[in-house]
Structure 1
């Protein structure tokens, strides 16, 4: 079986070492009375015991997160031998071996849960994203995630979206304005809300509209993308025709596996789905050890 070099896992805005350290510290109870250790591994497993282990998928999945899992094991045993057996984003069948490990048994057992939790969660997202992309079946429309992410995991979850062949919407509140109904409520109307963002020097202004009559005021004020919210396919087609290519359009709201194909077929450039990160089930991935 082929192996792959451990990649440099470098995500802008994400500190892998800090994430690994803080996750392990949480599991070990560092800073709590009696904490800072794995009482089970310490009491049952000799300090010099060595294990070999194989991480495998029990489901058909898209793989994401193996370099992060490797970092957990290496944090506790820098000399651990780790072979990654599949590429990130790969589609694998049930029973596929994903990673092979050899090293200190205590380190493996202590890092096991954190490593598995991460790969199960990220692979679950990547798998759901790929399911949506395949169901959409539209190369002219891009599937986007949203900001509906678990606090502290946004960069990893959006990475998993990319591994599933989706794309990322804005990363946070800082990289684009997204004017929604509550902003419009305070500003008074769509046009005024967009004008305020434009006058503040914001370059990317996404404006949510849920009615056809909001489109022209938003465009006239300077919106650079329209988010067509909770519109049925016939209304989406009407909206796309009215926009006539002046700015990109995005369908959002009420989109699931039953509706995505029809909504993507209306001519919108993007479809955004919050459940990709909000509701993806964990992939069934296991890790079995053998004493050396």
Structure 2
């Protein structure tokens, strides 16, 4: 990854693409993570940690240092805050034996090195240890997504022509209940989120084309029903692309599904002569080794489902300092 930079907590991350409302709301309403926090605490705490309650004195207090074990990009701090606020509610506090506070050393989007302290938990030692895994699950998973996203962003940035940025975009291939956490992490890693749910943007895919009587008929049906929505249309070949781009009112974006690099170059040329205002996106089978070649063709974005469905957790640990 390149030199340290922080991704601002503003959505979307690229003005060429539409505002993703649920993600934007999170900046002014961290309580949107409360439901996730309640589920995580309920499944983890149960009647309390048998080991901690047997070994740690009731009145002992301490600090839990959240320490990175490897380099990456930080994400999930706001989810951790939601966990601690929710953990202070009576039903959880009774098990924990007190509230835990968080002081933050670094912000979401910060590039971090092994050994960095990204935050400190303070409170009863019993509570800190019982919350350890819930906190780390949020932080490690989100930071892993942000870190993998940054790796893709760096691979793309190294190859794109000057003056033509290529966005790295995610998908809805997220774990149930974790979409907010994962998509926000994509932005912290420098990526640009696709739609959050099925109704905030329209995407005409191959199955819609099959069921809707062809790519043009399917697109026109969506445009007639939802003229206000940003619409992206998936095409499988250059003939389909040309048909879509030659429409009187083409979609805002076209997804080039499983195109070769050569066909992608041809698609960019067709776009330039037919509908230069339409954005083009490469998707399907991209790897870190090949994405640079696709980015260099002149497309506007690359879609990478692996950002959310296959990113490994970033190794962050909790080191307890009792006092």
Q: Shared topology, TM-score over 0.5?
A: yes
- 1:23 maps to which of 40, 44, 57: 40
Query: Helix, strand or coil for the counterpart of 1:198?
Result: helix
* 2:68 matched residue in structure 1: 57
Please, what TM-score do these two structures have when normalized by structure 2? 0.81
Provide the C-alpha distance between the structure 1 equivalents of 2:26 and 2:271, rounded to a whole number of angstroms. 40
Structure 1 pair 210/152, CA: closer, same or farther in 2 (3 Å)?
A: same
Query: Helix, strand or coil for the counterpart of 1:15?
Result: helix
Residue range with higher mean Cα deviation, 181-190 or 14-23: 14-23
Provide the C-alpha distance between the structure 1 equivalents of 2:58 and 2:30, rounded to a whole number of angstroms. 36
* 1:68 matched residue in structure 2: 79
Query: Helix, strand or coil for the counterpart of 1:17?
Result: helix
* 1:127 matched residue in structure 2: 147
User: How far is 1:188 from its partner?
Assistant: 2.1
Asked if structure 1 preserves the Cα contact closer than 8 Å seen for 2:65 and 2:121, the reply is yes
* 1:209 matched residue in structure 2: 235
* 2:217 matched residue in structure 1: 192
Q: Give the CA RMSD over aligned residues.
A: 2.1
* 1:235 matched residue in structure 2: 263
Residues 237-271 of structure 1 show CA distances to partners (whole Å, capped at 9, x for unaligned) of 11111122131111111111001110011111111
- Flag structure 1 segments of 5+ consecutive residues without an equivalent: 1-6, 30-35
User: How far is 1:278 from its partner?
Assistant: 0.8
Provide the C-alpha distance between the structure 2 equivalents of 1:73 and 1:205, rounded to a whole number of angstroms. 39
Structure 1 pair 90/163, CA: closer, same or farther in 2 (3 Å)?
A: same
Asked if structure 1 preserves the Cα contact closer than 8 Å seen for 2:84 and 2:99, the reply is no
Provide the C-alpha distance between the structure 1 equivalents of 2:283 and 2:30, rounded to a whole number of angstroms. 27
User: How far is 1:289 from its partner?
Assistant: 0.6
Structure 1 pair 14/75, CA: closer, same or farther in 2 (3 Å)?
A: closer
Residue range with higher mean Cα deviation, 113-122 or 10-19: 10-19
Query: Helix, strand or coil for the counterpart of 1:172?
Result: coil
Provide the C-alpha distance between the structure 1 equivalents of 2:190 and 2:30, rounded to a whole number of angstroms. 21
Provide the C-alpha distance between the structure 1 equivalents of 2:208 and 2:297, rounded to a whole number of angstroms. 27
- Flag structure 2 segments of 5+ consecutive residues without an equivalent: 1-8, 10-24, 89-97
Does residue 1:274 correspond to 2:305, yes or no? yes
Deviant stretches of 4+, over 4 Å? 11-14
Provide the C-alpha distance between the structure 2 equivalents of 1:42 and 1:13, rounded to a whole number of angstroms. 31
Does residue 1:287 correspond to 2:318, yes or no? yes
Does residue 1:37 correspond to 2:53, yes or no? no
User: How far is 1:17 from its partner?
Assistant: 2.1
User: How far is 1:72 from its partner?
Assistant: 2.4
Residue range with higher mean Cα deviation, 218-227 or 141-150: 218-227
Structure 1 pair 15/107, CA: closer, same or farther in 2 (3 Å)?
A: same
Asked if structure 1 preserves the Cα contact closer than 8 Å seen for 2:99 and 2:127, the reply is no
* 1:33 matched residue in structure 2: none
- 2:292 maps to which of 235, 254, 261: 261
What aligned pairs does 1:99-178 form with structure 2 within 5 A after superposition? 99-137=119-157, 138=160, 140-178=165-203
Provide the C-alpha distance between the structure 2 equivalents of 1:19 and 1:12, rounded to a whole number of angstroms. 14
Q: How many residues align?
A: 280
